[in-house]
Amino acid sequence: MSLFTMILKMSEGLGRTCAIFFLTILFALPLGMVVALLRMSKRKVVSAVTRFIISVLRGTPLMLQLLAVTYGPYYLFGFSVSRNKLVPVIIAFAINYAAYFAEIYRGGIESISKGQYEACEVLGYTKAQTFFKVILPQVVKRIMPSVTNEVVTLVKDTSMAFTVSYQEMFTIGKQIANSQTSFMPFIVAGVFYFVFNAIVDFVMGWFEKKLNYYH
């Protein structure tokens, strides 16, 4: 198999890799905020349960979570999540990354001084106005480096979808490597991931500069 043909075949899986990446970001970022607010709840039961769930998601391998979401419902209840394996893959990725984003959000929110909340209260702001107009913009700016780190990690973690035989780029590359007895597909995959990460890093860096309104 020529190098061009190899790249062409792996490019078919690149679209699926991008789908995992963008859909995970789409669902994990807002879900992470919800989880963070539950984690910070004044109700001890809600906070404790959320903290436990976050600990489980962060303390167990993503590979295990992919297997649990994809095959668990069948073995436990006798039905599958979906015939399209992209659905359980996105569910597993979104839940896993939401747990990490939640802790990043929590750290950002708790870094804001109480004086700002008090000042907003004096000005007559509601809690919602205080959070969305004053607190959240500062939180976003402060957590961008940590979020960027997780997003870069996500690019590489998309390869974990091979665990459930989802035909993304790395899975296709692995199949070609096995059939051709060649290491070249892994090199091609590595270049793909490197370029993808370089683009992501550039875009996130651009957002950081835009948010750097103090300079």
Average pLDDT for 87-93: 93
Exposure string for 107-141, b = 16+ CB within 10 A, e = fewer: ebbeebeeeebeebeeeebeeeebbeebbbeebeb
Domain boundaries along the sequence of the chain: 3-211
Averaged confidence pLDDT in the chain: 86
CA distance 139 to 204: 16
Q: Into which CATH architecture does domain 3-211 fall?
A: Orthogonal Bundle (1.10)
Task: Give the pLDDT score at 82.
Answer: 58
* pTM confidence score: 0.88
Task: Give tens-digit pLDDT for 167-203.
Answer: 888 888 888 888 878 888 888 888 889 998 999 989 8
User: What pLDDT does residue 1 have?
Assistant: 66
CB-count burial class (<10 Å; 0-12, 13-18, 19+) for 3: exposed
Within 13 A of 21's CA, how many CA atoms are on the CB side?
A: 23
